[in-house]
Amino acid sequence: MSITDELRKEARGFGRYVYTAPQADCLTAIADRIDAEHEAACAEAYGNGVMSVPIALDESQWVKLPVSEDGDVLHIGELVDEKLPFGGYAAPAPIDTMELSRGAGGYGWMVKLDAENRALISPRLLRRHHEPTVEDVLREFAKGLGVPVADSYIAASAAKLRLAGEE
């Protein structure tokens, strides 16, 4: 039984004290506010990469969700790019499974992408997928040529390419 359930039970007169209707309503309202704030805090924590998972003895333990190579929190169903062993990234795929397991270095997350017979991989080999922009394509092109290019030049070239596409 939660603390707020105990407070509601007490307010209904099943505890050690007897309350008038306004007092009981006040206690119930306090319990409702506590529950609402707790739910909001849990939702915010989940948005920041923390979730509650059940463990032995009917307790809960908060754990950090897996993060990508860029430090972004990953969620099931999210579209990600997998880093390839010899450079570059594979086609985007959604996250199917996240598994918290114990290895030689302690506990850690492993992720399975939505594909048959795929092995579990480290979330550090993933990045959130986003559609490439003109700047991304230019940056990758320059990198492939081995030419260092300033961001200001890439931005100016991207603007010209966008104008050319409109005409």
Instruction: Read off the CATH number of the domain in which 80 is found.
Output: 2.30.30
Where are the alpha helices (H) located in the chain, listed in sequence order? 3-11, 21-47, 134-145, 151-166
pLDDT at 58: 45
Supply the pTM of this predicted model.
0.49
142: containing domain: 134-166
**Is the same domain home to 37 and 59?**
no
**Which one, of 59, 33, 110, 131, lies nearest residue 25 by Cα?**
33
**Is the same domain home to 70 and 39?**
no
pLDDT at 62: 67
**Is the same domain home to 99 and 146?**
no
CB 64 within 8 A of CB 48: no
**Is the same domain home to 28 and 57?**
no
- For residue 146, give every residue at least 6 positions away whose Cβ sits within 8 Å of its Cβ, in sequence order, or none: none
Residue with tokens 């998972």: 53
**Is the same domain home to 84 and 116?**
yes
Residue 66 C-alpha from the chain's centroid:
7
> 67-89, pLDDT tens digit by residue?
888 888 888 888 998 888 888 88
Q: What angle do CA 102, 107, 110 make, to 5 degrees?
A: 80
**Is the same domain home to 124 and 56?**
yes
Structural domains of the chain, count: 3
Rounded Cα distance, 4 and 74, in Å:
33
**Is the same domain home to 123 and 68?**
yes
**Is the same domain home to 28 and 75?**
no
pLDDT at 104: 67
**Which one, of 149, 162, 93, 156, lies nearest residue 121 by Cα?**
93
**Is the same domain home to 101 and 122?**
yes
> 131-141, pLDDT tens digit by residue?
888 888 888 88
**Is the same domain home to 25 and 81?**
no
pLDDT at 51: 64
SS3 category, 53: strand
**Is the same domain home to 56 and 124?**
yes
Rounded Cα distance, 108 and 123, in Å:
10
**Is the same domain home to 85 and 123?**
yes
Return mean pLDDT, the chain. Answer: 79
> 26-57, pLDDT tens digit by residue?
888 888 999 898 888 877 777 776 766 555 54
Length of the chain: 167
